[in-house]
Amino acid sequence: MDARRQGIVEVAARLLRERGAAAVTIRAVAQEAGMQAPTIYRFFEDKDALLDAVAEHVFATYVAGKAQSAGDLDPVADLRAGWHTHVGFGLANGALFALLSDPARTRPSPAAEAGAAVLRARVHRVAAAGRLRVPEALAVELIRAAGTGVVLTLLDTPPEDRDPALAEEMLEAVLRTILHDAAPVPRDDATALAVAFRAVVPTLPTLTPGERSLLTEWLSR
């Protein structure tokens, strides 16, 4: 990354952390970085592009850490670890988390999309292990909605009044909805069997692409 661009991003990240999203304007960043506003526009087309870069900068280590841990643990334990890291990051970076979660954003953040991709991979491992009782896509959306909701709720509560058990209770509620109590998947649960089988269809070497697509469609239905 260009040193000047990196410096702009770091200044914007500091302003976001210390003063909130409203303080991150092109003029304020330029002033803090010791340059003219037109210089900022040489690297970022608008404020949203700058904020996306800040999100990627702050989020990069977090996403990398999530990706590195995948595969090292039992799939369900790995899913739990990802939840705890997600909640911890959100509480430690409240302004950035609120920015990434803002429904008024006109475009998704690449950093948030990268985190979602890691979550999908974690859920897929759970499905392939025969532990998932709902379709993968539904499990991902339930976890994302619960994770975002619990962090925003805690951020909206004064630190001294936050219930430390809230995030854990929410996680347990979601897991009770999406998981079987034990592996392997029960033989009498047709939905869970279909979810587990669908997770491994892409790895079956004897199927043609058309057969694989048709089988995936059947199992999804």
How would residue 12 be classed by pLDDT, with cut points 50, 70 and 90? very high
Domain count, the chain: 2
How would residue 3 be classed by pLDDT, with cut points 50, 70 and 90? confident
- Give pTM, 2 decimals: 0.71
Clarify whether residues 110 and 59 are in a common domain. yes
Clarify whether residues 98 and 165 are in a common domain. yes
Gap between the Cα atoms of 68 and 4, Å rounded: 30
Question: For the purposes of burial, counting CB atoms within 10 Å of the CB of 18, is it exposed (0-12), middle (13-18) or buried (19 or more)?
Answer: exposed
Element (H, E) at 27: helix 26-33
pLDDT for the residue 182: 58
Clarify whether residues 23 and 84 are in a common domain. no
Residues in the chain, total: 221
HSE toward the beta carbon, residue 112, CA cutoff 13 A: 20
Full residue range of the structural domain in which residue 189 is found: 55-220
Helix axes 110-128, 47-69, angle to 10 degrees: 30
Please tell me which residue, 30 or 108, carries the higher pLDDT value. 30
What are the distances in angstroms from CA 180 to CA 35, 122, 208?
A: 57, 16, 32
Inform me whether the pLDDT recorded for 187 exceeds 60.
no
